[in-house]
Amino acid sequence: MSLSATARIVAEADGTLPVLIGDGPLALRRTRTTGPYTRVTVVGAMSAPLGGDRLAIESEVRDGARLLVDSSAATVALPGRSAEPATYDVRLTVGADAVLRWLPEQLVCAHGSDLVMRTTVELAPTARLVLREEQILGRHGEEPGTLLSRLTVHRAGRPLLDQEVAYGPGAPAGWDGGAVLAGHRSVGQLLVVDPGFDEKPVESRLLAENAVLAPLAGPGALVTVVAPDALRLRRVLDEALGILAPA
């Protein structure tokens, strides 16, 4: 039987969380932090997403609030009884002078899984965002599952970034070729949106082998990395985070 679940977070400028509602496999916990952020950790309460599941997380960071969202472990997409793909929707809203650091652990697409993941972000003109995505195609020694992932970001109601990628046996031909993954199984990106980039935009450059930092047409920067394993992927993304948006 397929599962439907939606978790919700609302953060206020005074550090309170008037809404912190977990659902199904998506348990939410307020956790300690030494920095200026209110921190919420997503804790997986059961195996999910499986084929046919419909999962979602909604996070609203209200004006002036600072929120850090991470997770306690990797999310593993698994095959299920349903032939339908699983869906995982992340919907983020960041208000005026608010900051969101969205830093979950990796998404692992196990062999036989089929997942559609959509992340949509709405930013106020003075909002700041740090968003990390890490996708591991297959567990150790196995073939990957199928993943379709789309990231859409609007700032002040206007598009800032809209991109879609597809990997695995259900993806269009060429996903594993030299122009895309070139045989690698770990891919990720770091998106940083900061109004300060309007005055001092970042410059395009290589950060490491198969890792590129590029400015966006707006106050944003995108780091894209392809790596042979999850450890190398995280190392490069952590270096990029230290350059673009240290805590």
Question: pLDDT by residue (tens digit) across 62-97?
Answer: 999 999 999 999 999 999 888 899 999 999 999 999
Is residue 193 in some structural domain? no
Q: Is the pLDDT of residue 137 over 70?
A: yes
Pairing of strands 220-227, 158-167: unpaired
Residue 9: pLDDT band by 50, 70, 90 thresholds?
very high
11: β partners: 61
Residue 34 falls inside a structural domain: yes
Full residue range of the structural domain in which residue 9 is found: 4-188
The number of domains in the chain is 1
Residue 217 within a domain: no
Tell me, what's the pLDDT at 45? 66
The residue with tokens 């850090």 is: 68
95-107 pLDDT, tens digit each:
999 999 999 999 9
The verdict on residue 118 lying in a domain is yes
Q: What pLDDT digit, counting tens, does each position of 150-191 carry? A: 999 999 999 999 999 999 998 888 898 887 888 899 999 999
* Cα 235 → chain centroid: 16
Give me the DSSP letters along 163-228: EEEEESTTSPTTTTSTTTTTT--EEEEEEEE-GGGGTS----EEEETTEEEEE-SSSEEEEEEEES
Q: What is the pLDDT of residue 141?
A: 83
Residue 178 lies in a domain: yes
| Domain-located, residue 205 | no
Which structure tokens are listed for 9? 């977070």
- Pick from 5-19, 25-39, 41-55: least confident: 41-55
The answer to whether residue 230 sits within a structural domain is: no
pLDDT score recorded for residue 168? 93
